[in-house]
Amino acid sequence: MEIGARIAAAQLAGSARSKRQVIAGPLAGMLDDDDAWYLSGVLAAEPGQPFEPDEIPWAIETIRQAFAAEGRWVHAEFVDEANPGLAEALASQGMTIVGRLPLLVVEPADLIVPDLPDGTTVTVVASAEEQAVANAVAAEAYEMDNADSAYKADPSDGGAVLIHVDGVPAATAAWTAVADAVSEVAGVGTIHSHRRRGLGAIATAYATLNAFELGGATLAWLTPGDDGADRVYRRLGYAPRATAVHLGDPGGHLADLR
């Protein structure tokens, strides 16, 4: 399977473990029981397969109605190479393409793990209490009221790492549920007082390492938020192999996807 389609299929399968699905033609609405806007979204229902353009109007209307019924905002994330033209077809139905980002991937043999500076330690989140600490770090890093990630006892269902500096929890990163030996590394964040020390790179590398060693992944992927993050991730061995495209419905919080 082409790598873009493999990643999109794994993303769909991993999301389906914990979310309710609304399948409408080529679209899969993934509804989380938590009402945080970013936990629910739309993926391609058939990665790697062509879609029928005539299905798009009723498909997106079906998704909109299902999301509205639960107070969710419709936003979508696709791997462009897995379903060429799907983003543009949705744009023709009123959705907005927010951006296209390089999709970076790494395999175990190519991962570069930075040395730890003095006073810096890395731990894998191993309890709900430690997850609460990681959530607090993420909330401060992203300037959110809270982060709602739940602790997962089985690393194949996802997990997180915490970076401490002289005993202070300073950075975190997570990996998602592993499907088809693929996992996304996400939620990389460093508290404001400890930025520009390379902690984001350390958190990313160790989250990736644990996705491989504990979760059983053989391929990890991520999308950088900006050019600076892109350079950091490439120094860890990540390389561009596909393109992620993000869309949102007008009137929603489009800026949150930038």
Q: 51-66 pLDDT, tens per residue?
A: 999 999 999 999 999 9
What CA–CA distances, in Å, run from 182 to 40, 54, 55, 98?
Answer: 20, 32, 29, 25
Kindly state the average pLDDT of the residues 162-181.
97
Q: Note the pTM of the prediction, 2 decimals.
A: 0.90
pLDDT at 137 over 70: yes
E strands, the chain, in order:
20-24, 27-31, 41-44, 75-79, 96-106, 120-124, 158-165, 168-176, 182-190, 219-222, 239-248
Cα 67 from chain centre: 20
pLDDT at 77 over 90: yes
Kindly state the average pLDDT of the residues 227-256.
85
pLDDT at 258 over 90: no
- Average pLDDT for the chain: 94
**What's the pLDDT at 1?**
63
pLDDT at 242 over 50: yes
In the numeric block, which tokens belong to residue 199? Answer: 């902690």
Angle, CA of 200, 129 and 13, to the nearest 5°? 65
Kindly state the average pLDDT of the residues 181-193.
97
Instruction: Compute φ and ψ for 111, nearest 5 degrees.
Output: -70, 130
State the CB neighbour count (10 A cutoff) for residue 148: 14
Percent with pLDDT over 70 in the chain: 97
What CA–CA distances, in Å, run from 24 to 44, 133, 213, 237?
Answer: 10, 38, 36, 37
Dihedral (Cα; 130, 16, 146, 103), 10-degree rounding:
90
pLDDT at 41 over 90: yes
